[in-house]
Amino acid sequence: MPSYDDIAASYNELHGSEQAEKALIISQHLQTSETDTILDVGCGSGLGSQYLKGKKTGLEPSKELAKQCPFKTLIGKAEELPFKDKSFDVCVCVSAIHNFDDPEKGLAEIERVTVRDVAIALQKRSTKAKDIEKMINKIFKVVETIDQRNDKIFICNAR
């Protein structure tokens, strides 16, 4: 499988409409304002949070995808978020969690830096999906689960 750096130039063409669909669903379930701070973990080119209002920051391991992101994006891994506790009002992670080296540690980090709401889109076809869903339910208070075509979208409250 090619790395995301290798497919970065065609990422939006390959995944844009699917990511936009998930982003729209998330924006309909998370109410954000221009004053909210939003972290997009595994942000890629920024498609997953495109409809959310607020000041966005991204975290992305692929340097080539991060270059395409329209908002400030740091290179890094979800398991080691370089932010203080409760730094963001909202956090989204759209179809990235199955790529984490340690999904449970990444989810714990997301919870650590989030004050209010979290949205996680989990690819249903991932071999790790059932285990990750259990982790999401353990770490967050799941408010709603939306069954989207290829993903399950979890709308959660940080604890």
Rounded average pLDDT over 104-108: 98
Cβ partners under 8 Å of residue 115, min gap 6: 86, 88, 89, 158
Q: Name which residue leads in pLDDT, 32 or 44.
A: 32
Cα maximum dimension of the chain: 39
Question: Domain total for the chain?
Answer: 1
DSSP 60: E
144 domain residue, yes or no: yes
Rounded average pLDDT over 116-122: 97
Q: What pLDDT does residue 19 have? A: 78
> CATH no. for residue 151?
3.40.50.150
Rounded Cα distance between 77 and 35, Å, is 26
Rounded Cα distance between 26 and 144, Å, is 11
Entry pTM? 0.90
Token pair 């869903």 in the structure block, residue: 133
Q: What is the pLDDT of residues 33-85, one digit of tens each?
A: 999 999 999 998 888 898 999 999 999 998 887 898 999 999 999 999 999 99
**Helix locations, the chain, DSSP H:** 4-7, 11-29, 63-66, 103-113, 129-139
> Kindly report the CA angle at 142 between 141 and 143, in degrees rounded to 5?
110
49 domain residue, yes or no: yes
Q: What pLDDT does residue 131 have? A: 98
Instruction: Show the domain range for 130.
Output: 4-8+15-23+33-157
> Can you read off the two tokens belonging to residue 117?
């709401």
> Are residues 153 and 26 in contact, defined by beta-carbon separation less than 8 angstroms?
yes
Q: What is the pLDDT of residues 6-31, one digit of tens each?
A: 554 554 455 556 778 889 999 999 99
57 domain residue, yes or no: yes
28 domain residue, yes or no: no
